[in-house]
Amino acid sequence: MELSKLLTPGGVRVVGQLTSKKRLFQELGELVSSCCGLSSSVAVDGLQERESLGPTGVGHGIALPHARLEDLDRIVGVFIRLEKPLDYDSVDRQPVDLVFGLFAPKDSGVDHLKALALVSRTMRDQSVLAKLRANTDPAKLHAILTESRAPQAA
């Protein structure tokens, strides 16, 4: 599994400022709707349902909100870089500026977990994070996220 299969160039956006996690989820829903045709409201509901189980802010300014949805036939990802970090209730209580949303079919099973592990590994790479934070061009952000890397253990 490769990020280039999950994340299309149209699935990357830079956003100036959002006022809440709910607004961030709406932005993720609009983004996945525009690039993948998924209903924005279905995506937002799925993210909120998953978030109610526990925060997906993993620390170091990174959030990995994700949801399993009925209306999907493949796993898709979207990425938002926030110019102004957002309070997200992360595990380290730090605001979030890099958000990778992942949407999987309801019955995706282990493939959803593999995709989440791949995204998590990528978002833990300090050189990737530095490049993401130094760029505001969606095309460059997409290239940074999808460039080939040597596989690593989860």
Decide if 97 contacts 129 (C-beta within 8 A): no
The pLDDT tens digits of the residues spanning 17-55 come to 888 999 999 999 999 999 888 889 999 999 999 988 888
Is the pLDDT at 86 greater than 70? The verdict is yes
Question: What are the b/e assignments for 34-63, b being 16+ CB within 10 Å?
Answer: ebbebebebbbebbeeebeeeebbbebbbb
The pLDDT tens digits of the residues spanning 112-145 come to 889 988 999 999 999 999 999 999 999 999 999 9
Catalytic residues: 66
pTM: 0.91
Q: Please state, in angstroms and rounded to a whole number, the distance separating the CA atoms of residues 35 and 137.
A: 17
Question: What are the b/e assignments for 2-13, b being 16+ CB within 10 Å?
Answer: ebeebbeeebbb
The confidence score (pLDDT) of residue 90 equals 84
Q: Where are the beta strands (DSSP E) in the chain?
A: 7-15, 57-59, 62-63, 66-69, 76-86, 96-105
Tokens 């109610």 appear where?
52
* Tokens linked to 30: 């609009």
Nearest to 80 by CA among 47, 45, 107, 108: 47
Is the pLDDT at 64 greater than 80? The verdict is yes
- C-alpha distance from residue 45 to each of 78, 84, 93, 122, 148 (Å): 16, 24, 24, 26, 32
Helix/strand/coil for 138: helix
Is the pLDDT at 154 greater than 80? The verdict is no
Q: Please state, in angstroms and rounded to a whole number, the distance separating the CA atoms of residues 143 and 66.
A: 22
